[in-house]
Amino acid sequence: MNRSTSEQLYQEALKHIVGGVNSPSRSFKAVGGGAPVFMKRASGAHFWDEDGNRYIDYLAAFGPVITGFAHPHITAAITRAAENGVLYGTPTALEITLAKMVKEAIPSLDKVRFVNSGTEAVMSTIRVARAFTGRSKIIKFAGCYHGHSDLVLVAAGSGPSTLGIPDSAGIPVSIAHEVITVPFNSLNGLREALNRWGDDVAAVMVEPIVGNFGIVMPKPGFLEGMCKLAHDNGSLVIYDEVITNFRFHYGGAQNYAGLDNHEQIVPDLTAMGKIFGGGLPIGAYGGRKEIMDQVAPLGPAYQAGTMAGNPASISAGIACLEVLQGAGVYEEMERLAIRLTDGLKESADRHGIPLTINRIRGAFSTHFCDHPVTNYDEAQDTDGEAFASFFRHMLDRGINLAASKYEAWFLTTAHTDEDIDATLEAAEASFRAMKE
Ligand code: PLP
């Protein structure tokens, strides 16, 4: 496959844009480096690059594009919004419509506030939790990604009872010391951390179904135990549903039928993003009324945004949710994902390549290993070189995946059986080539 234009553009981009990319996960650093593919246009489940090559896409722009690219209903909504002026700096009726839709789908949200990204949403939940509890520390789980704000870009210390260390240059150690990281799916780790730091812990934050070291389900009882331990300690529970909102069904992971005991796993605050903006920048946070009433202009916790709730993003979000309300939408994504994951596993087995697949409805992750992946340690303990080789072979055969062994594959409402057949053919050839 000729990608010479992408290579030229990458050289040009390197001169002007740091690393040639505007978000590090778009680079190919995690799969051996080199020029990422420069895409020119996209429609449905397909991309075309600057050299005219076509790809079947499973990146979905890291999740938001669940209806496929340029969905006509969403495109019409964005066009209408553009014609009416994209930004007013005043409230609009559209915001109320989207707020009601989101609240109806996720009942733990008494009140919401729209922001521009998942990072902002998470950052704001932490501020509000601190304002409400008067405490400063946060407990998070290893491998969960909560955006790039200082407080959550912190790695585990050497054990569950140690304080965090910065995961990036530019983050003061004093900030990292406000964060404690414990292993996902480990109630013992959480208990130990709460025993040690409990009086200072404002909130326990988690991706209720993990999307950032693969797709990883909480073990039965984990979320329930986590909520109980946090609440018994006077701490709030924050769910980061930036990836999971509207991903597995029309709602959040917190009310997804695949999780038991819904009454016992209700968070106090939820951060959202990605899907419900229909591909335009969006985020939101919300939760219990008395907690959200801490936020300005009602309360003392300040949070604001010039672009927040802009009519373009809100219109795209409403249109996207309308598409997702269609009958059988999630069932069809799941049917295709089952066909795809069954076929991938059979193909990998045929070539003697160890492959663990974690799938929930239309989203799944592929781990090159022969053990289950239930936490970050297990996700790290997988063959990154095999993934990188698979990634490149698939790309050369016109299949676009995320360039990291930790990222998920996302089905969209635009994928078809033909796409799955073509992807399985490419996978069979890729696994064969990996063994040559
Ligand atoms: N939280 C989770 C769970 C995410 O996966 C992400 C992004 O991937 C974020 C927060 C940050 O969202 P954004 O990139 O929109 O700032």
Over residues 217-254, the pLDDT tens digits come to 999 999 999 999 999 999 999 999 999 999 999 999 99
Look at residue 174 and tell me whether its pLDDT is greater than 60. yes
Tell the burial category of 50 from Cβ atoms under 10 Å away from its Cβ (0-12, 13-18, 19+): middle
Top pLDDT among 176 and 82 is at 82
Domains along the sequence of the chain with CATH? 4-70+327-435 (3.90.1150.10), 72-324 (3.40.640.10)
pLDDT of residue 157: 57
Tell me the one-letter amino acid at 258: G
Over residues 189-210, the pLDDT tens digits come to 999 999 999 999 999 999 999 9
What sign does the dihedral 66-68-73-78 (CA atoms) show? positive
- Taking CA atoms only, the protein residue closest to ligand 1 atom 6 is 147
Average pLDDT over residues 134-163: 82
Look at residue 159 and tell me whether its pLDDT is greater than 60. no
pLDDT of residue 257: 85
pLDDT of residue 140: 95
Extract the tokens encoding 321. 């949710």
Average pLDDT over residues 357-370: 98
pLDDT of residue 433: 98
DSSP label of 115: E
Look at residue 158 and tell me whether its pLDDT is greater than 70. no
Enumerate residues 6+ apart whose C-beta is below 8 A from 206: 140, 141, 144, 184, 223, 226, 237, 238, 239, 240
pLDDT of residue 162: 61
- Taking CA atoms only, the protein residue closest to ligand 1 atom 12 is 118
Instruction: Please give the full DSSP string across 240-262, using - where no structure is assigned.
Output: E-TTTTTTSSSS-GGG-TTSS-G
pTM over 0.90: yes
Question: For residue 346, how many other CB atoms are within 10 A of its CB?
Answer: 13
Average pLDDT over residues 133-137: 98
Average pLDDT over residues 319-339: 98
pLDDT of residue 259: 83
pLDDT of residue 166: 77
Distance (Å, rounded) from C-alpha 297 to C-alpha 96? Answer: 17
pLDDT confidence band for 137 (50 / 70 / 90): very high
pLDDT confidence band for 379 (50 / 70 / 90): very high
Look at residue 393 and tell me whether its pLDDT is greater than 90. yes
Catalytic annotation on 58?
Answer: no
Whether the Cβ atoms of residue 353 and residue 368 lie closer than 8 Å to each other: yes
Report the complex ipTM.
0.99
Distance (Å, rounded) from C-alpha 427 to C-alpha 327? Answer: 31
Our mutation pick for probing the ligand 1 site, out of 62, 122, 269, counting the most ligand atoms within 8 A of Cβ, is 122
Q: Where are the beta strands (DSSP E) in 50-200?
A: 54-57, 111-115, 137-141, 154-155, 165-166, 179-182
Span from the CA of 6 to the centroid of ligand 1 (angstroms): 27
Helix 72-83 to helix 311-324 angle (10° resolution) is: 160
Whether the Cβ atoms of residue 248 and residue 330 lie closer than 8 Å to each other: yes
Extract the tokens encoding 57. 């896409």
pLDDT of residue 391: 98
Nearest to 25 by CA among 406, 295, 427, 417: 406
Q: Ligand 1, residue 23: give the atom nearest the CA.
A: 14
- Taking CA atoms only, the protein residue closest to ligand 1 atom 1 is 146
Question: For residue 351, how many other CB atoms are within 10 A of its CB?
Answer: 15
